[in-house]
Chain A
Amino acid sequence: ELKVEQNPLFLSMQEGKNYTIYCNYSTTSDRLYWYRQDPGKSLESLFVLLSNGAVKQEGRLMASLDTKARLSTLHITAAVHDLSATYFCAVDSQGAQKLVFGQGTRLTINP
């Protein structure tokens, strides 16, 4: 059974600092997704990572995938308050057409 674990689950940081969220998964998969969710809102797609070594960047966020280590990272550079949200990674369960989500990381960025 595919399990997805994120850490940390809670992250409070100051504006301008850098930090990384980690996403580990338990079985082979070739697709990993990062989503953002604001309180009471739906999920917004951030990145789709499809192959080993894939790196995607959008603004202050950068995501990478290491399929051999079964690890993805979401790196935040010079954080700003607007990035405060809950971030989920989700892994495609091969052959089953279902996403398994991590627990989510609740990120709070303080001025």
Chain B
Amino acid sequence: DTEVTQTPKHLVMGMTNKKSLKCEQHMGHRAMYWYKQKAKKPPELMFVYSYEKLSINESVPSRFSPECPNSSLLNLHLHALQPEDSALYLCASSQPRQGVASAKQFFGPGTRLTVL
């Protein structure tokens, strides 16, 4: 299984809502990532988990809260978002860099988020 799955595919939420994005992989990868991608722009890294511990937070606002319950799952909890947070949210996974030649990241299909 070389797939990263994400749910939901699409999400529309108001600025007062609380919602969660989910990501799952069964490739045995121990690093997982959240990216945000605006239209016609490259992905921007938000968070990195390595061995279920948060290793990188790219100064993301606290209205985004990541969680890694186990080595296969990654969540992104959303609360009090702004319209400018509307974007494609991509999850990725890889082997951790240390000691691994490639550490290629496999990307999920993404969740298209619209904040009204």
Contacts and interface: CB of A to CB of B under 8 A. Distances in A.
Interface of A: 31, 33, 35, 40-45, 48, 50, 88, 92, 96-99, 101-104, 106
Contacts of A88: 42-43
Contacts of B42: 88, 101-104
Contacts, number: 52
Main secondary structure of the interface of B (DSSP, over half): loop
Interface size class, chain B: 20 to 34
B90 A97 contact: no
A50 B50 contact: no
Contacts of A41: 109-110
Contacts of A103: 41-42
A99 B55 CA distance: 14
Interface of B: 31, 40-43, 45, 48, 50, 55-56, 90, 96-97, 101-110, 112
B45 A45 contact: no
B45 A48 contact: no
Contacts of B43: 43, 88, 101
B24 to A, nearest CB: 14
Nearest to B91: A42
Contacts of B104: 33, 45, 48
Name the residue among A35, A42, A103 with the largest chain B CB count within 10 angstroms: A42
A53 to B, nearest CB: 16
Nearest to A96: B56
B90 A43 contact: yes
B45 A98 contact: yes
A101 B107 CA distance: 14
Contacts of B45: 98-99
A87 to B, nearest CB: 11
Contacts of B106: 45
A92 B105 CA distance: 11
Contacts of B90: 42-43
B102 A48 contact: yes
Contacts of A96: 56
A31 B108 CA distance: 21
